[in-house]
Structure 1
Amino acid sequence: MELLLETVALFCLKLAYETEDSSPILRDDLLMSDYEREVFGLLVRRGDVEGIRRKMDECVGLALKAIGGADTPLGRELQRLAAEFTSIQTIELIDVPLIALKDYLKDIQ
């Protein structure tokens, strides 16, 4: 699950900060330091759903801004998927909305 959380964060940051004429953002970039696998691993081991949601909200907010906001077709879908993710109450329920979010972010890259 930690890898999946890190992947979603990476896709969000790529949308927000990566440009065609720059080098790609990678998992070991300084930009990813607050969203790396170990950070998410700690939150998962603690069962800190709120902490995970907060981290994902930060990333998704950046991605949403990068694609033009919630008033665009891409933005509406991203916001819908993010809302599904945010509605989770336990770690055990996180996989399905997280995978949907990851797949969508991957598709719109």
Structure 2
Amino acid sequence: MELHLETVALFSLKLAYESEGQSPILRDDLVMGDYQRDVFELLVRRGDVEGIQVKVGECVGLALEAVGGVDKPLGRELNRLTADFSSAQTIEQLGIPLLAIKDYLNDIL
């Protein structure tokens, strides 16, 4: 799960900050500091669902702005997927919505 959490963060930050002609954002870039796999691993081990949701929400919020917000088709779908993720109450319930967000962000990159 930690890898998928980190990937969602990476894809979100790529949408928000990466522009054509610049070097790509990578997992070891400074912007990924609070969203690296080991940070998510600690949150997962603690069972901190709310902490995970906050971290993912920060990144997905940036991606949502990058695609034009909830008034645009891409933003509406991303917002819907994020709502499913945010309503999870256990680590296990995060899995399916997390994969849906990851796949969607990958598709729109």
Q: Please give the range of the TM-score, normalised by the shorter of the 2 chains.
A: over 0.9
Normalised TM-score (structure 2)? 0.99
SS at match of 1:94: helix
SS at match of 1:27: coil
Q: What's the offset of the Cα at 1:93?
A: 1.2
Normalised TM-score (structure 1)? 0.99
Superposed CA deviations along residues 41-97 of structure 1, whole A, max 9, x for unmatched, are 000000000000000110010000011111000000000000000010000111100
**Does residue 1:32 correspond to 2:32, yes or no?**
yes
Cα distance in 1 for residues equivalent to 2:15 and 2:45: 28
Match of residue 4 from structure 1: 4
CA RMSD of aligned residues (A): 0.4
Which contiguous aligned blocks of 4+ residues in structure 1 show a shift greater than 4 angstroms? none
Cα distance in 2 for residues equivalent to 1:32 and 1:15: 13
Give the letter for the 1:42 counterpart. Answer: L
Cα distance in 1 for residues equivalent to 2:63 and 2:89: 23
Cα distance in 2 for residues equivalent to 1:55 and 1:93: 16
Q: What's the offset of the Cα at 1:3?
A: 0.5
Q: Percent identity?
A: 72
Alignment of structure 1 residues 1-109 onto 2, 5 Å? 1-109=1-109
Cα distance in 2 for residues equivalent to 1:40 and 1:46: 10
**Paired residue total:** 109
Give the letter for the 1:14 counterpart. Answer: K
Unpaired runs of 5+ residues, structure 1, are: none
